[in-house]
Amino acid sequence: MTATTMTEELAARPPSPLFALTEPARAMFEVASFYAMRPFYSALPSGDGHGVLVLPGFMASDFSTAPLRRLLLDLGYDAAGWDLGRNVRVDNARVEAMSGCLDALYRRNEGRKVSIVGWSLGGVFARELAKMHPDKVRSVISMGSPISDDRGHSNAARLFEMLNGKEPEPLRNGRFTGLGKAPPVPTTSILTKSDGVVHWRGSVQKPEKDTENIEVVASHIGLGVNPAAIYAIADRLAQPEGEWKPFAPEGIPAMFFPKTIN
């Protein structure tokens, strides 16, 4: 393969139209699977009570993350939504409001560091919040997030630019640049090669200290209730602070995590 061919193959592009068209049906199956598995989630690792801020994806609200947050509460975390309505505008006011959410949860937990879980665009925000406030963040988990400065990986890029412009306000002020650079805290990217909104290559983290990519079989809009993603999130959040290790499922759970990222 020539260098030119390789560059073309890896160039940013949106997901397959087939994946996009089947997103709703696949997500409905994942919702059903989440509730069917709900009685068994009590066997997941218990939390240590630290705060977990959960951020919704583009055009979504706290309603979309409610099942995940309720589960995290049951596992023993102080899980909170952002309470900022629908995730549409990306401006300085929204960035400051998110910082306020992080600070409030940090103070509510008497100065214990907070983990941030972000879905899609929420994962981009999670990573950037951790870069802005590393002293308050314990770990970051993103799900199907476009962690690349090239919006060509996403089917939602045109709608995003219609609502926020090609250069949103934070970018004009020097923020949210270098999205591919991980924050200085343990950072996990959960991604799926059958994502119908964000091409999976746009969610792959570069190898850095305390970073990892976890592949699951899922839709984009079902990631927050996908049983494999739930297992990975619970496993990652349960790690003792300061003792982060890469995800390494064993036995039957390992069967649900393909290792085909390259």
What whole-number percentage of the chain has pLDDT above 90? 84
pLDDT for the residue numbered 172: 83
The pLDDT tens digits for 152-170 are 999 999 999 999 998 888 8
- What is the percent of the chain where pLDDT is above 70? 96
* Residue 177: pLDDT over 80: yes
- CA-based nearest residue to 161, from 85, 12, 58: 58
Confidence bin at 12 (pLDDT 50/70/90): confident
- For the CA atoms of 171, 193, 5, 205, the dihedral, rounded to the nearest 10 degrees, stands at 40
Q: State the pLDDT at residue 145.
A: 97
Residue 16 has pLDDT above 50, yes or no: yes
pLDDT tens for 89-134 read 999 999 999 999 999 999 999 999 999 999 999 999 999 999 999 9
CB contact at 8 A, 14 and 152: yes
Beta-bridge partners for 140: 116, 187
Distance (Å, rounded) from C-alpha 49 to C-alpha 143? Answer: 22
Please give the domain boundaries of the chain with CATH numbers for all domains: 14-239+252-256 (3.40.50.1820)
Question: What is the spatial distance between Cα 254 and Cα 168, in angstroms, rounded to a whole number?
Answer: 40
